[in-house]
Amino acid sequence: MLEIFIFAFLHALAHGVQVADVVLSCSFVEEGGGMTGAHFIRSPATVVLRDLPMNTDLSPETITPYIPPDTPNADDLIFEATASSVEIPEAESLLHADCNEQEVTCELSRYIPRGTKPDSVPAHFIASVQLEGGGVGFTLVLQTIANENAESNTASLMQSKLQLPLSQWGTLISDVVFVVFSRSPSVAAPIGEDTVLDCGYRQRDTPAEQYVGLEWRWQYRGQGRTILDMRETEAGTFVEVDRDGASANSTLLVTDGNASLTMKKLKVSDEGTYICTINSGPFQTQQIVQLNIMQPPRVFFSENKITFQDDSPQRLTCHCERYYPLDVQVEWFSQLPSETKSISRTEGASLSSHRQHSDGTFSLSSFLIVRPSEHPPGTVFTCRVSHVALQTPSEVILTVHTPEPGPFTSLLEYYWMILVTLILSILFLYQASR
Ligand SMILES: *[C@@H]1O[C@H](CO)[C@@H](O)[C@H](O)[C@H]1NC(C)=O
Ligand SMILES: *[C@@H]1O[C@H](CO)[C@@H](O)[C@H](O)[C@H]1NC(C)=O
């Protein structure tokens, strides 16, 4: 697991906008050839995002300033990037991630824009920054800035791995030229509802005639297909959709950089990983959005009350109906009338197997055998169901009722009565026939 540090240094600009430097510890990934075939080599790297505008008020005391190394080192990989002309949405969530102990993953590699050669100058890099457990996810394209010092001073230090000139303080100075992001890279929604999978992009140099391409691809357990393919071309907008009720707005795509996918009437089969790919100018970059279907169970008893008419045990059935995903936990509790405060867990319940419905949801039942000797009238049974789609467990209760005072208090007496009636009838008929 990658260890992440985020330091930030706040400074106030003249206009009163707070800006901060965010420092991410990343890994630089490169393909290594060799006899054993292609594999990846990871080296530690640092990305310093300079002067990010912050919308929320931050107290400077909570933030540690980033200090570049004292002596420049040719082996260090420090990318110092300004995002002055490209807005990175919700950049402040990166600062909060540190406080919330959220894991941040950052991976960096070489990037070759369309129409450029692998070793061309300026060089490009792509950084994917993802916050675990919500927040924001983005993929940045960094472009190195020609170092004036390097021109005049041939003694300028070269980064050992990349063979690129370093700044006086040992960093690779670059600019963010393109970003694809999602403000909600993880979405949970119930069946039947509509949802929007958020994706957008920002570009530094927007060409005069902007032809943007958007592709949304769905992947789930080794399967995959293109859900939406949209291209703005000279001839107009071309759209191909492979899911009923999926759409993106081509106007917003061009004018606002909004590439969000609207999905109507969610189904279990929509669950999966969605890849939003933006094609604009020389760049093609992606961002992932995870969609999880969450349908809470409907919980109910098949009995509406329990009454013990005799000494025989009874079976209670607690149903959990039409939920998704599969995992559900059922617990039973009982509270005797004598113990008004304490509630005890009741063991010995059994479970049915899962049943899957045609819409992909599941149902399950739990059974509990209850005995009149152990559970006098007034005993309250609780069936508690926990499921990922429920914020708090769902509970249903059932109370043991006092048997209604009928003419016969037990089955045995009932049989006796039938027998006596039968004998009397036979005797009567016998008398009558004489
Ligand atoms: C796209 O968004 C614009 C601006 O919100 C709106 O006016 C337009 O009706 C939308 N187009 C479609 C096809 O929904
Ligand atoms: C992007 O467009 C979708 C509709 O396609 C809309 O629901 C969403 O609010 C828009 N997002 C932003 C940030 O404007």
Strands 186-189 and 283-293: parallel
> Which whole-number Å values give the CA distances from 378 to 27, 191, 290, 307, 381, in the listed order?
64, 39, 48, 10, 10
Does residue 254 sit in the same domain as residue 307?
Answer: no
136 Cα to the center of ligand 1, angstroms:
25
Does residue 311 sit in the same domain as residue 283?
Answer: no
Q: Which of 138, 37, 28 is nearest to 78 (CA)?
A: 28
Note the maximum CA span of the chain.
140
Q: Is there a contact between 47 and 108 (Cβ–Cβ < 8 Å)?
A: yes
Whether 428 is in a domain gets the answer: no
Using CB distances shorter than 6 Å, the residues near ligand 1 are 249, 251-252
Whether 275 is in a domain gets the answer: yes
* Strands laid side by side in the 394-401 sheet: 306-307, 394-401, 380-387, 328-335, 344-345
Does residue 208 sit in the same domain as residue 276?
Answer: yes
pLDDT digits (tens, 9 = 90+) for 187-237: 999 999 999 999 999 998 776 667 889 999 999 999 999 999 999 878 888
232 Cα to the center of ligand 1, angstroms:
15
Please tell me whether residue 19 adopts helix, strand or coil conformation. strand
Q: Point out the ligand 1 atom lying closest to the alpha carbon of residue 251.
A: 1
Per 3-state DSSP, the chain is made up of helix, strand and coil in percentages (nearest 5) of 10, 45, 45
244 Cα to the center of ligand 2, angstroms:
19
Does residue 100 sit in the same domain as residue 124?
Answer: yes
260 Cα to the center of ligand 2, angstroms:
6
Residue where a domain terminates, one of 253, 273, 293:
293
320's tokens: 């959990």
Q: How much is the pLDDT for 324?
A: 96
Does residue 305 sit in the same domain as residue 289?
Answer: no
183 Cα to the center of ligand 1, angstroms:
21
Q: Read off the pTM.
A: 0.82
State the ligand closest to the CA atom of 200.
2
Residue among 258, 262, 276, 289 to mutate when testing ligand 2 (max atoms within 8 A of CB): 258
pLDDT surpasses 60 at 28 = yes
Q: Point out the ligand 2 atom lying closest to the alpha carbon of residue 247.
A: 5
Burial 361-370 (b: 16+ CB within 10 A, else e): bbbbbbbbeb
State the ligand closest to the CA atom of 255.
1
Does residue 143 sit in the same domain as residue 190?
Answer: no
Does residue 11 sit in the same domain as residue 84?
Answer: yes
Q: How much is the pLDDT for 418?
A: 80
Residue where a domain terminates, one of 166, 182, 198:
182
Does residue 141 sit in the same domain as residue 63?
Answer: yes
pLDDT surpasses 90 at 428 = no
Q: Which of 86, 13, 101, 75 is nearest to 49 (CA)?
A: 86
The CA distance from 139 to 133, in Å, is 17
Q: How much is the pLDDT for 2?
A: 38
Output the domain CATH number for residue 196.
Answer: 2.60.40.10
Residue where a domain terminates, one of 182, 214, 232:
182
State the ligand closest to the CA atom of 181.
2
Length of the chain: 434
Whether 411 is in a domain gets the answer: no
Please tell me whether residue 84 adopts helix, strand or coil conformation. coil
322's tokens: 């039409």
Does residue 139 sit in the same domain as residue 125?
Answer: yes
- Compute the half-sphere exposure of residue 167: CA atoms within 13 Å on the CB side of its CA: 15
Whether 148 is in a domain gets the answer: yes
> 6-15, 146-155, 180-189 — which is least confidently predicted?
6-15
Q: Is there a contact between 63 and 20 (Cβ–Cβ < 8 Å)?
A: yes
Domain count along the chain: 3
Residue among 260, 263, 264 to mutate when testing ligand 2 (max atoms within 8 A of CB): 260
Domain with 268, as residue range(s), is 184-293
Q: How much is the pLDDT for 193?
A: 95
CA distance between the termini of the chain: 101
The CA distance from 108 to 26, in Å, is 7
Q: Is there a contact between 182 and 287 (Cβ–Cβ < 8 Å)?
A: yes
The CA distance from 126 to 145, in Å, is 15
